[in-house]
Amino acid sequence: MYYGYVIVASAFIIMVMMVGTLFSFGVFLTPMLTEFISWRSATLSGAFSMCIIVNGFLGILAGRLSDRFGPRAVVLVCSLFLGISVMLMSQVHTIWEVYLFYGLGVAIGESAHIAPLQSTVAKWFIKRKGLMVSIALMGLTGGIMIIPSIANWLILLHGWRKAYIILGAADLLVISLAALTLKRSPAQIGRTPYGVDKVREHEREPQYMGALSLRQAFHTRQFWLVCAFFFCIAFAMTTVMAHIVPHAINVSISPTIAAIILSVMGGTSTAAVIPEGFMADKIGVRKTAIILTALLVVSMLWLLVTGEALWSLFLFAIMFGLTFSSLDILLALVSSSLFGLVSLGAIIGFVNSILSVGSALGPFVAGLLFDLTGNYQAAFLCCALVAIIALTIVSTLRPSGQISTFQ
């Protein structure tokens, strides 16, 4: 069996544990507020927001360290931070401890779940790269579906403090074991990427001959266009995910049905992961990015005219769900095809930090617009315009130098 498949499986498992733990915060929110009655929900939730922002920027460092020392060392260190920080959450009695252990400690632990893993999987495959990256990234949605439910079950059985101890210990054990199987690249074990028969052919791959360092990428127009592209997509997508339920309720749809609309988005997104990776392998990364971004634009324009029609909102949920999974898939594929593999971890880490800013800014702007207007039309119009900008960018984006796989 080709060892690259072990890399994909390990990346999937690590993402399940890391992302699932991150998004289990909401499960612990109510029992913690019940015990600490003087705490406000917004204050406690601020630790989660801090974790997301810090994690986004630490991804740059994690990517650079992965390029230099390999993903195994980076993920092992991060698993130590994550496991211990989650277990320390069981001992909190003041709000500053939550910000220290979760806002900072968990953020450090989570910083390995994007750049080191995506870049490593990309290095093991020339053919089937899109499919393999997609399979690994299913760990993101898989973690959100699995781990919070387990955490909730643990809380019901043992209380939230013991649940944090068990969850942290599981993170430390499972992630560390999976990390031990990670290899930096096929050359580390005397192999070549999947789809390359001879070492000399591998050495002539443009992804290696013309590969750019992060510093070199900074001096290219394409790099900043890629950053702008992912900022725009993240801005639009995260805004919709954060505000679609309030919007549905605001147009007189019941909270139960509104939650189902969000579930349809998530389910469609999960189902689309593998087909989108397969499509990238078949027709190319550039065409796939254009098609998915165009679908995002269409879905956002459709949302503007849905009104109170329930069938129309469900149709939007399906269209939008098909595009939502593309965010992380395209991050690895676009970056590797434009800038090569040598410094891919650092490049993905930097672009992901810009993406995180868009993810944080979009819902905030939408909230301000809702407060000003009393509805989400202005917010969703803003998202549609930003999506159109993203489509314009990716349609005009071209490879530079010897890197010629973005097509």
Topology of domain 207-396, CATH: Growth Hormone; Chain: A; (1.20.1250)
Q: What CATH number does the domain located at 4-203 have?
A: 1.20.1250.20
The continuous run of DSSP H or E covering 285 comes out as helix 285-304
Amino acid at 263: S
Which residue would you say has higher pLDDT here, 328 or 150?
Answer: 150
pLDDT attached to residue 181: 93
pLDDT at 28: 86
Query: Which pLDDT band, with edges at 50, 70 and 90, does 165 fall under?
Result: very high
Distances (CA, A) of 106 to 83, 172, 241, 387: 8, 12, 23, 31
For residue 37, what pLDDT band results from cuts at 50, 70 and 90? Answer: confident
- Angle value at C-alpha 393, between 389 and 398, nearest 5 degrees: 175
Q: Where do you find CATH 1.20.1250.20 in the chain? A: 4-203, 207-396
Handedness of CA 18, 23, 29, 31 (dihedral sign): negative
Q: Provide the token pair at 241.
A: 């995910």
User: Looking at residue 122, what is its pLDDT?
Assistant: 85
Chain segment 314-370, per-residue pLDDT in tens: 999 899 988 887 777 888 888 888 888 778 888 888 998 898 888 878 888 888 888
Q: For helices 25-35 and 41-69, what crossing angle results, to 10°?
A: 140
Query: What is the model's pLDDT at position 406?
Result: 65
